[in-house]
């Protein structure tokens, strides 16, 4: 199958960011941001569908995928500064954002500071604060292995925590997230510094307060797409987001975990089609 995208890169804030450019010149821009330790190919099916109406850019954020590692760290504001520099470097004056997990946090923080630049936002399975029960269970999960003897071993490990993605899509996700060493073993493409450390966003009142303020002040429409089996975003949180947000709504995708775009690609496309006008 012919690739519909081109791999490109741009240097921002001292970090080379790889991105997948899905063409569609002259159409409104759509910038897609993956989650923690993820990479841009989680958006492949969605980007292919959305490219009928948008010029899609799926970005490997700093320290992830094919992008460079960061000497100045991985605080939320560094990612947001990269997003700001990325859209400026590409000359995107107004655009739509789609952000999964931490990509959703970055979308909210950027838009709160640049409300005139963003047309609408899709945030995937993330919110200003986590469901307490889910946060507790995630804190008790065993560490992520940092190497695997074979790719099959890595896929088997991923399957233990994901009952929903097809075998083919799960394997592709692992292929996109890993690289083979000279000795034949496999390890993650993402910076090892990103693994097995608790995310401050789950517990830091200051960060959670910033996310809530963003939801309260952002004027553009926001659609939350939640994986029904994830448990990370609670019903009460969504109800509060709807109360305080200017134009907030949500939809659940059945039989999907946290990374909805990988677990149920077509269902994710269907869930966002009306909101995005695709």
Q: What is the DSSP string of the chain?
A: ---S-EEEEEEETTEEEEEEE---TTSPEEEEE--TT--GGGGHHHHHHHTTTSEEEEE--TTSTTSPP-TT---HHHHHHHHHHHHHHTT-SSEEEEEETHHHHHHHHHHHH-TTTEEEEEEES--SS--HHHHHHHHTSPPPPS-BSSHHHHHHHHHHT-SSS-HHHHHHHHHHHEEE-TTS-EEESS-GGGSSS--GGGT-HHHHHHHHHHHHH--S-EEEEEETTT-SS-HHHHHHHHHHSSSEEEEEETT--S-HHHHSHHHHHHHHHHHHT-
- pLDDT tens for each residue of 44-62: 999 999 999 999 999 999 9
Instruction: Specify the pTM.
Output: 0.96
- pLDDT tens for each residue of 205-264: 999 999 999 999 999 999 999 999 999 999 999 999 999 998 999 999 999 999 999 999
Q: 6-132+198-276: which CATH number, 3.40.50.720, 3.10.580.10, 3.40.50.1820, 3.40.50.10610?
A: 3.40.50.1820
Say if residue 1's pLDDT is above 60: no
Domain ranges of the chain: 6-132+198-276
Going by pLDDT thresholds of 50, 70 and 90, the confidence category of residue 10 is: very high
Mean pLDDT of the chain: 96
């Amino acid at each position: 199958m012919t690739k519909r995208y081109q791999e490109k890169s741009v240097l921002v804030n001292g970090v080379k960011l790889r991105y997948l450019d899905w063409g569609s010149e002259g159409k409104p821009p759509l910038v897609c941001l993956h989650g923690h330790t993820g990479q841009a190919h989680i958006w492949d099916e969605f980007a292919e569908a959305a490219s009928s109406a948008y010029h899609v850019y799926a970005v490997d954020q700093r320290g992830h995928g094919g992008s460079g590692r960061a000497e100045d760290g991985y605080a939320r504001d560094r990612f947001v500064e990269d997003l700001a520099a990325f859209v400026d470097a590409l000359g995107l004056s107004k655009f739509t954002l789609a952000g999964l997990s931490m990509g959703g946090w970055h979308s909210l923080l950027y838009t709160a500071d640049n409300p005139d630049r963003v047309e609408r936002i899709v945030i995937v399975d993330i919110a200003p604060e986590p469901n307490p029960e889910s946060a507790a269970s995630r804190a008790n999960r065993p560490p992520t292995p940092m190497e695997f003897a074979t790719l099959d071993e890595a896929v088997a490990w991923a399957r233990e925590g994901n009952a929903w993605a097809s075998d083919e899509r799960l394997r592709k996700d692992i292929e996109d997230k890993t690289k083979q060493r000279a000795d034949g073993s496999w390890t993650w493409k993402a910076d090892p510094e990103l693994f097995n450390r608790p995310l401050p966003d789950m517990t830091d009142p200051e960060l959670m307060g910033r996310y809530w303020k963003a939801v309260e002040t952002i004027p553009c429409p926001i659609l939350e797409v939640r994986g029904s089996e994830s448990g990370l975003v609670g019903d009460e949180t969504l109800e509060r987001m709807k109360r305080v947000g200017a134009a907030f709504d949500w939809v659940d995708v059945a039989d999907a975990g946290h990374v909805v775009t990988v677990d149920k690609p077509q269902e994710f496309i269907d869930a966002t089609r009306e909101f995005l006008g695709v």
